[in-house]
Amino acid sequence: MKRLPLRLFLVAIAFAFAGCVGRPGTFVKRKGDEIVVAGQLFHTGTRVITWMDPGGYDAYRVERRFVPFAQSPWAESLQAAPALGTPNRYSLRNQRTLPPAEIERLRGGAWDLASLQNVVDQFVLHYDVTGFSKQCFNILHDHRGLSVHFMLDIDGTIYQTLDLKERARHATIANDRSIGIEIANMGAYAPNDLKTLDEWYPRDTKGPYIKIPERFGDPMLYTKYFTGRPDRPDLIAGNVQETDLRQYDYTPQQYAALIKLTAALAKVFPKIKLDYPRGPDGKLLTVKLPDADYAKYQGVLGHYHVQLNKTDPGPALQWDRLIEEARKLVK
């Protein structure tokens, strides 16, 4: 038999593999760094555990996650925690302003990527004041009836709890147009009220480290036996909402993951500009954005830029590092 020309041989091989890829029942493994946006997967370059993965946190579930199973159904949950209010911890974006026909089209979750890109233009950063992502989800989902798209644990693991098409309940007036992330950190405190930080950040010869109190049980960290340390060893002093605060920095693992996620979101959502709110001097604004400025703001911002009664992500966040490193990844 005569040899097939090389080109025909390669074409035959390509068709053979294409047939295998499309064969019913063929298992397709994700890489493990993908986020879910309107049902589509986008790589981030950092570890992401979605609500569909083992070990994930599912904000679509009605029942409470961290109570005995017999006490978890909705009826029992509402009786035990009236603050939950409604079974769903999320809703439809922009339902107050969408035309009726558009609401009917989207009410089942049928957002297409282009429509979502036209709506989402903010990425809101929070600290969770619970110290680790398991406890964050417990408080939001089981006790308060709230939600957030992402949680970032102390070891740098990102958990996605909802498709980004959903309106999560994390930042009041920003919910319709924003994506939210809760970064595991015990938060910022007045200089004369540091008891919480003293408990969570003991010191050894290397400096302060995160010690989750035993009363919380298994923290369910993805990285077993992980010891988190602030990226900078000293308490960070700063002023937010015209209040002097002290806070320990986020971990190096959290910065590495947050930078990659921020860059990925800026690529997927072109209206999220890689910048933070600035004052007239060009420096970071450390108070709430004025209403007129907030209405037109597109980019990365803190919860305190949205609401007067919030101080997260606190004075410790390295804004310039976050934005500059994310910009490098999108060039």
Q: Cα dist. 185→141, 265, 312 in Å?
A: 18, 22, 10
Q: What average pLDDT does range 16-37 have in this prediction? A: 81
> Rounded to two decimals, what is the model's pTM?
0.93
Beta strands in the chain, from DSSP E residues, in sequence order: 34-37, 40-43, 48-50, 90-91, 122-127, 150-152, 158-160, 167-168, 178-183, 203-204, 207-208, 236-240, 243-247, 299-302
Using the Cα atoms of residue 87, residue 88, residue 92 and residue 96 in order, give the sign of their dihedral. Answer: positive
pLDDT confidence tier of residue 173, bands split at 50, 70 and 90 = very high
Whether 157 contacts 47, CB under 8 Å: yes
The confidence score (pLDDT) of residue 20 equals 53
Overall average pLDDT of the 85-103 stretch: 92
Mean pLDDT of 258-287: 98
Reply yes or no on whether the pLDDT at 12 is more than 60: no
| Residue 107 pLDDT | 86
Q: Three-class SS of residue 254?
A: helix
Between the alpha carbon of residue 167 and those of residues 172, 176, 177, 264, the distances in Å are: 11, 6, 8, 19
Chain centre to alpha carbon of residue 89: 15
Name the H helices within the chain: 6-21, 74-80, 100-106, 113-119, 133-137, 195-200, 252-268, 291-296, 319-330
What was the pLDDT predicted at 9?
53
The CATH number assigned to the domain with range 57-330 reads 3.40.80.10
- For residue 215, the 8-state DSSP code is G
The confidence score (pLDDT) of residue 29 equals 87
Mean pLDDT computed over every residue of the chain: 94
* pLDDT band per the 50, 70, 90 thresholds, residue 23: confident
CA dist 74 and 317 (Å) reads: 38
Per-residue pLDDT tens over the stretch 274-325: 999 999 999 999 999 999 999 999 999 999 999 999 999 999 999 999 999 9
Instruction: Say if residue 98's pLDDT is above 90.
Output: no
Q: Which two tokens stand for residue 164?
A: 């980004």
Tell me the mean pLDDT in the region 128-153: 98
Among 51, 296, 255, which residue's Cα sits nearest to residue 168? 51
**How far is C-alpha 96 from the geometric centre of its chain's CA atoms?**
25
Angle at 140 between CA 48 and CA 180, to 5 degrees: 50
Query: How much is the pLDDT for 22?
Result: 67
**Using CA atoms, how far apart are residues 176 and 263, in angstroms rounded to an integer?**
21
Asked if residue 331 has pLDDT above 90, the reply is no
Residue 316: closest CA among 231, 240, 233, 249? 249
Q: Are 184 and 254 in contact (CB under 8 A)?
A: yes
Residue 60 Cα to chain centre, angstroms? 15
pLDDT value of position 1: 42
Where do we find the tokens 């005569």?
A: 2
Condensed to tens digits (0 to 9), the pLDDT of residues 110-134 reads: 899 999 999 999 999 999 999 999 9
pLDDT at site 170: 98
Give the integer Cα–Cα distance in Å for 259 and 261: 6
Residue 8 has pLDDT above 90, yes or no: no
